[in-house]
Amino acid sequence: MALHLIIPTLILVIGVGNDLKSRKVRNYLILIFIFCSIANTFYFSGVDGLKMGGISLLVALGCCLPLVLPKIMGAGDMKLLMAFAINVAPMSTFYVFMYSFIWGALLGLLQALLKGQGMSLFHNTIAIVTSGKKAVSPEKLHKIPYTVALLFGWLTQLTLTGFRG
């Protein structure tokens, strides 16, 4: 693995650990991740890398904000992806987001099935599709730690690009 990919991988691994432990991504961790990301990007790519990292951060914001505003995705997950994005190219950020969407759906389905809530998930999905999110009370919605899906999306991106990011 290229050395410049260690920090973004660690950001997601630590984010997953924190999310699984406390069910949220802490803001102090996000600040540490942003500092490490800026240092990592500047060390390996200089000012041009920081410019590219800024564009990647905006890509992450643009992908996540439409999902955070209606509370489909948590703001902590968005901030984690933004801190991560500073380290990688804009297209990598976009692909990680898209792969994480697929992983999130698979993990959510698996979680519901393992908990014996497959029919509940099916009925909630039908209610949301036909009547909108308000048709299902928040207590009945299935939630997953999305940081896991982000990590799996990143690992998918690494695998498909031959560990070039």
Tell me: the pLDDT tens digits for 109-160?
998 888 887 787 787 778 777 876 565 555 555 678 999 999 999 999 999 9
pLDDT at position 71 is 87
Whole-number pLDDT of residue 99 = 98
Residue 62: the pLDDT is 98
- Note the pTM of the prediction, 2 decimals: 0.88
Q: How many structural domains comprise the chain?
A: 1
Give the Cα separation of 89 and 91 in Å (integer): 6
Question: Given a cut of 90, is residue 75 above it in pLDDT?
Answer: yes
- Please report whether residue 165 resides in a domain: no
CA torsion, points 45, 63, 106, 139, in degrees to nearest 10? 130
Per DSSP, the chain holds a count of helices (H) and strands (E) of 6, 0
Domain that holds residue 81: 3-160
**Cα Rg of the chain, angstroms:** 17
Is 137 inside a domain boundary? yes
| Residue 9 located in a structural domain | yes
Calpha distance 35→148 (Å, rounded) = 22
Cβ-count burial 52-61 (b if 16+ within 10 Å, e if not):
bbeebbebbb
29 within 8 A of 37, measured Cβ to Cβ: no
Domain for residue 47, yes or no?
yes
Q: Is residue 97 part of a domain?
A: yes
**16: its two tokens:** 């997953």
With beta carbons less than 8 A apart as the criterion, state whether 98 and 153 touch: yes
